[in-house]
Amino acid sequence: MDRGDGVTDVPSWWDDDDRLLEELGHAVREARVPESFVRAGKAAFAWRTADAELAELRLDSLLSAREPAGLRDEPRPDGSGPRVLSFAAGELSIEAEIHPDAVRGQLVPAQSGAVLVRDDDGPVREVTVDEVGWFVIEPVPARRFRLHIRTSAGATVITGWIDARP
Amino acid sequence: MRDDPVVVDLVLRAREGDAAAWDAIVERYAPLVWGVCGRYGVTGSDADDVAGGVWLRLVERLDTLHEPAALPGWLVRTTQRQCLQLLRARKRQIPVDDPEPGARGEEDGVDGEMLMAERRHALRTAFAELPARCRELLSMLFDEPPASYTEISAALGVPVGAIGPSRGRCLDRLRRSRALAALQLA
């Protein structure tokens, strides 16, 4: 910053006592940020992807429906129900049903936590997982997404990509 | 703020998973993010949502942030974008007759925001280093609404006639502080 070149506004706030006091007031008041605002920022650190274990796809009803009928355990007539996906990481599995209005999912074994929906651009939104393991993502993400899950017990897993409208 | 070794160190530590370093980053830059939200008219729980999104993105970017010194600029741009997204989504839900919210273009005024943030951060640092008497006096003067000289005289136990000269001396001390001097040389 070059003082006195007439281009920057430095001299005005710097040299004049009233302006300096005013600017100082702005600076100090601006730092009085609500606690909830700071808390939202601190909480974000729990969503580091570095620590997340990849949950592998175990089942996609869309894919299994395309297999020859004889290979399927449970016949599922086309269009009879929502598309079902299942992911697993260690002991934890994530079941997700894609309905027209929402993605409804469950953690198995049942436990509470939080799910962060991520797309190619980054985090989209966070939803809570209730104590029986259910979560709802509404509406269905328009673009491909993955689910980043944190259980109350502290496990973090992230699923592979899901395209709800393939 | 530029090339601030403290910020560089905090980013490196947060990258290693140090939650305390992350908290320090959030505390340091929350006023910057808050200020941008305010200028877009985004407040309350909306501002919390925007902040949540901004910080989540930073968590993702932490490992690939090549220049920790570029952090403030990145925060300003990301906050502006998130505010605009929120305002657009609002407009879609509730049709309003209002003209475009400001004529602000995307990523408008990043340099201005950063200069201001840098200056205000330096001012806060300098203010925190002032003697307690100066801080008390100046706080009463810049409060909204400011206290009258009579109130200040009663609260601080100084004659009314001494307030003006004290105010001048405290502001001069502020100007001579290391934090503000560094800003002037930058």
Phi, psi of B97 (to 5 degrees): -85, -10
pLDDT in tens, A33-66: 999 899 989 989 988 877 789 999 999 998 876 5
Q: Which of A10, A27, A116 sits opposite B124 (nearest CB)?
A: A27
- Arithmetic mean of pLDDT, B101-129: 74
Please determine, for residue A3, whether its predicted confidence score (pLDDT) is greater than 70: no
Residues B124 and B135 in one domain: no
CA distance A115 to chain B (A): 13
The domain of B48 spans 1-128
Which run of H or E residues covers position A89? strand A83-89
pLDDT averaged over every residue in chain A: 85
Residues B121 and B139 in one domain: no
pLDDT in tens, B46-101: 998 899 899 999 998 888 887 877 888 899 999 999 999 888 887 766 554 444 44
Which chain B residue's Cα is nearest to A51? B17
Nearest 5°: the CA angle A52, A54, A55 is 120
**Domains assigned to chain A:** 49-159 (2.60.40)
Q: What was the pLDDT predicted at A73?
A: 53
Residues B146 and B66 in one domain: no
* Cβ-based contacts of B53 with chain A (< 8 Å): 123
What sign results for the dihedral spanned by CA atoms A120, A121, A125, A131? positive
Residues B118 and B137 in one domain: no
Q: What was the pLDDT predicted at A68?
A: 53
Q: Residues with Cβ < 8 Å from A52, sequence gap 6 or more?
A: A148, A156, A157, A158
Q: What was the pLDDT predicted at A1?
A: 44
> Which has the minimum average pLDDT: A18-27, A149-158, B106-115?
B106-115
Structure tokens at A18: 């009233």
Q: Residues with Cβ < 8 Å from B163, sequence gap 6 or more?
A: B137, B149, B152, B153
Q: What was the pLDDT predicted at B115?
A: 80
| Contact (CB<8Å) B34/A37 | yes
Query: Residue B157 belongs to a domain with what CATH number?
Result: 1.10.10
Q: Which residue has the tokens 């992807």?
A: A49
Q: Does A16 touch chain B (CB under 8 A)?
A: no
Helix B5-15 to helix B19-39 angle, to the nearest 10 degrees?
Answer: 120
Q: What was the pLDDT predicted at B99?
A: 40
DSSP code at position A88: E
Residues B102 and B156 in one domain: no
Alpha helices, DSSP H, located in A16-153: 17-30, 35-43, 61-64
Helix (H, G, I), strand (E, B) or coil at B27: helix
> Which has the minimum average pLDDT: A118-122, B17-21, B123-127?
A118-122
Start-to-end Cα distance in chain A: 54
% pLDDT > 70, chain B: 87
Residues B82 and B174 in one domain: no
Residues B28 and B103 in one domain: yes
Given pLDDT bands bounded at 50, 70 and 90, which one contains residue B172?
A: very high
Residues B97 and B8 in one domain: yes
What total number of domains does chain B contain? 2
Structure tokens at B9: 């160190």
Q: Does B62 touch chain A (CB under 8 A)?
A: yes
pLDDT in tens, A114-165: 999 999 888 888 999 999 999 999 999 999 999 999 999 988 999 999 998 7
Q: What was the pLDDT predicted at B3?
A: 56
Q: What was the pLDDT predicted at A9?
A: 53
Distances (CA, A) of B3 to A70, B20, B67: 65, 21, 9
Q: Which residue has the higher pLDDT, A83 or B105?
A: A83
Which chain A residue's Cα is nearest to B128? A28
Given pLDDT bands bounded at 50, 70 and 90, which one contains residue B102?
A: very low
Residues B8 and B34 in one domain: yes
Q: What was the pLDDT predicted at A100?
A: 92
Point out which residues pair with A104 in neighbouring strands.
A97, A136
Q: What was the pLDDT predicted at B70?
A: 83
Given pLDDT bands bounded at 50, 70 and 90, which one contains residue B151?
A: very high
Residue after which a domain boundary falls, among B78, B104, B128: B128
Residues B67 and B102 in one domain: yes
